[in-house]
Each structure stands twice: as C-alpha cells, then as structure tokens.
Amino acid sequence: MRAIHFIIVLMVVTALQGSSEAAEKRAVTPPESVALGTEEQAIRRTIEDYAKGFIQKDLRLLLSLWDTRGPVSYVAVELDQPVLGIANLQSYYQGFMDSPYSIRSGDVTDLQVFVNGDTAYAFCHFNWVYVIGAGAVLKQSVRSTFVLVKRNGRWLYQHFNESILVPTGSTVSPASK
C-alpha cells in the first residue's frame, strides 16, 4: 500500500514538472566545493549513502545508516504518518525495492550541517532521478532534514524528514476556511 502512495505522489509531481530526459545510473555527486570539517564530511558521506543504498538496492546499507539503540523515525514524502522503528523501516525499504521504480541517481545539494557534540542536524536537497518499468524517467527534488547521533565514531540517523519541493514558478492557493 505504501508503494502505491509513493507511485501516486511521484506521478502527480511528474505531471507538474514534465520530464522525459534519460539518465545513466551513477553514483552520488562528490562533495560541493564548500570547505567542510571532518565531522561534516563524515555526515555528508552518511547522507550520500542513503542515495547509494537505493541506487544499488542495498537494504543492508540503508538499515545500517540508522541508530538502532533508540527510537527512530522517518517521515517519507508520500506517507501521511511517520515510519517508526527499524522493523518498519525495513518493510518500507523492501516495499520500495519491490516496486516498479528504480533510482538512477540521488544527488545531494545545498547541504548544511550543524554539529553539537555527538548530535548533528543536517539539511539538504536530494535530486532524485527515477525510472519506472520500461524507461519512463521521473525527476524529483526533495527537501530533507536529518537528526544524527554519533555512535562508536559513526554518524547515524535518528530522525529523517522529507518534503516535496514545489517547482519554481508554481503557485499554491491558500486553503478555503
């Protein structure tokens, strides 16, 4: 059911953006030219590994990005409710991997990292390129916010929230009251 919601959201967004451009399967873009400190570079790699996990359809990699010591939450762009806990994340990821979508690329841009001891907050955009079945290409930019914790020298996700970016030039009317 979650995969169906995801497909519906992507189709609506595609209709707004209208893309038919082909893309080659490739790795995430290298770090931007901004001089990042060691911790920020490690956080960037952890965030880029999210795209890498989907591109490679590597469930183990995706799950390894999360802190399993405490509660975790993921607010996926296509879901009404957050995904809570590692077991539910595994189900969610597996559902996506079983869907007709494959991810060709997931570039990370506009990364901002705020480190406070062993906790960090990160904001970025993921610029996804999906392929459906026989070759329809979809592009989608997603705004992402992470709360990470450092455990045994690794940065791990505790919370991850995504939301769709409305294409530039689009207008949204306020809801009637």
On the question of pLDDT at 160 being above 80, the answer is: yes
- Evaluate whether 148 touches 119 at the Cβ level (below 8 Å): yes
pLDDT on residue 18: 40
Would residue 86 be called left, alpha or beta, if left means φ above 0 and alpha means ψ between -120 and 50 degrees? alpha
Which is it for the CA torsion 137, 143, 145, 150, positive or negative?
positive
What are 19-62's pLDDT values in tens digits? 333 333 333 434 443 455 899 999 999 999 999 999 999 999 99
> pTM of the full predicted structure?
0.74
**What percent of the chain clears pLDDT 90, i.e. is strictly above it?**
64
What are 64-81's pLDDT values in tens digits? 999 999 899 999 998 999
CATH of domain 2-164: 3.10.450.50
Q: Please give the Cα distance from 108 to 44 (Å, whole number).
A: 9
Confidence of residue 168 (pLDDT cuts 50, 70, 90): confident
What is the β-pairing status of strands 154-164 and 119-132?
A: unpaired
User: Higher confidence at residue 93 or residue 15?
Assistant: 93
